Amino acid sequence: MHLIQTIKRDGGLQGEGDGGLRCNLFRKERGRLRKAVTASVAVASFALLLAACSSSPTTKPVAKAKGPIKIGMITSLTGPYTPLGTNDKLGAVQEVNAINASGGVNGRKIDLIVKDDTTNPTQAVVDWKTLMSDGVVAVVGPVFSSSCMAILPDVQASKVPSINTCADDSQVTPARKYVFMTPPTTLIVGQQLLAYMKAKGITKVAVAHDTSAFGEAGWHEMKAEASKYGIHFIYDGSFSVTSTTFTSILTAVKSSGAQALMVWGAGPAEVGLTTQFRAMGLTIPLLFSHAEASMLYTKPAGAAGNGAIIASSIGGIGPFLPSSYPAKSTIMSFANTFKAKNGYYPPEFAFDAGGAVAMIAKAIEENGATPAGIDAALNHMTITTGDGTYSFSPTDHSGLTTNQVAITRDTNGTLVPTKFTKAMVG
């Protein structure tokens, strides 16, 4: 034991590539050992050192982890949020396939394990626990805000980072450990819509919102900010995510004297509201959050949606961005691949989930494939995805600003940037 400790102090048994030095020290010590110790001790010492010298002159590095890196995903593949969740999955799978095709992350492929929460918060909790049993190192989603809020206690307890694709600000306000999000927050979307209304001279606004966590959060954030823009809400009505009739809300809006109707919600209900809005002869501006920023809204809404004002992540107007815009190449690379495979321009949800996978992959590349390493990397990450450029910090787990939010007009099914946004992007 004494001999080994002596050699370690001299550097003979430590460090990379020290095989030759180790054996030289052995030869120098051999004579001294024969005189200093009994034959039995010497034999044991020589045997130990000879075993060390019989190996390759260069010490072999510790074997790296092998096999796929498991990443989980919770999204809505059934229930009212099916269109959102389906595109979440398409975006995430596209990004995983691209990473794996280029050799994976640090030589390891990604294995994406997808769970369906059925647009049900209770199922989302079950899905989270299942993914933890599967050994995932990070999770993408959910897309349903009520599911995002339901899993928060389990995320905190598991200490496994979750990059959510829902847009409820309260999940990251204040910043929670292990919880991040990719969509623009309802706060910055609301601020940008309010700025647009102010620029258009609108001061009196009616609001309709669904009763999901997202709809409630968007409405309350916008209401809290409205006075800064000289805007007053003179009516608000609520509806469920499965509502199909909006007569009472629209009748009240029509008689309220509102100069515009702002709608907060996500899912098929907004299409029905749009159709009935037009059928009742309402002509005031109809505004939506970024949840409707895709063909998932514009296609079924058809002619009724023509002219609607819709907030969007910057990715939603990728084809209209000037070539000098910093994120355009990233946006269009993702968008062109998605469109070639699926036949339509990617909606907000595909950008959100694809970006989340890219963030996790970058975190693993920088800091290893452990939950703690991924979380540490995310807390200091700057990255450009299809949604724009994020700058995360320990106190900011949303990462985007109002400059990443576009205000668009539905023009025959295409989201075209308004003059307001054209001035912003240059």
Kindly report the number of other CB atoms within 10 A of residue 426's CB atom: 8
pLDDT at 311 (0 to 100)? 97
Query: According to DSSP H, which parts of 200-309 are helical?
Result: 213-225, 247-256, 269-279, 295-301
pLDDT at 176 (0 to 100)? 96
> Within 13 Å, how many C-alpha atoms sit on residue 222's CB side?
32
**How many angstroms separate the CA atoms of 295 and 301, rounded?**
9
Give the helix/strand (H/E) hosting 47: helix 39-53
pLDDT at 19 (0 to 100)? 39
pTM, two decimals, is: 0.81
182: closest CA among 388, 335, 345? 388
**How many angstroms separate the CA atoms of 390 and 361, rounded?**
15
List C-alpha distances in Å: 52 to 6, 24, 63, 206.
15, 12, 19, 80
pLDDT at 413 (0 to 100)? 94
337-346 — which CB contacts under 8 Å span 24+ positions?
A: 337/94, 337/98, 338/90, 338/91, 338/94, 341/94, 342/90, 344/295, 345/294, 345/295, 345/318, 345/319, 346/87, 346/90, 346/91, 346/294, 346/315, 346/386
Instruction: Work out the end-to-end distance of the chain between its first and last CA atoms, rounded to an integer number of angstroms.
Output: 72
pLDDT at 168 (0 to 100)? 87
pLDDT at 31 (0 to 100)? 44
**Which regions of the chain are under pLDDT 50?**
1-63
**How many angstroms separate the CA atoms of 351 and 209, rounded?**
24
Place of tokens 């109809």: 286
**How many angstroms separate the CA atoms of 272 and 245, rounded?**
7
Sequence-distant (6+) residues with CB within 8 A of 318 are 328, 331, 332, 335, 345, 386
**How many angstroms separate the CA atoms of 218 and 199, rounded?**
20
List C-alpha distances in Å: 231 to 124, 214, 285.
38, 22, 15
Please, are residues 395 and 175 in contact by the beta-carbon 8 Å criterion?
A: yes
pLDDT tens for 248-295 read: 999 999 999 999 999 999 878 999 999 999 999 999 999 999 999 989
Cross-strand partners of 261: 206, 286
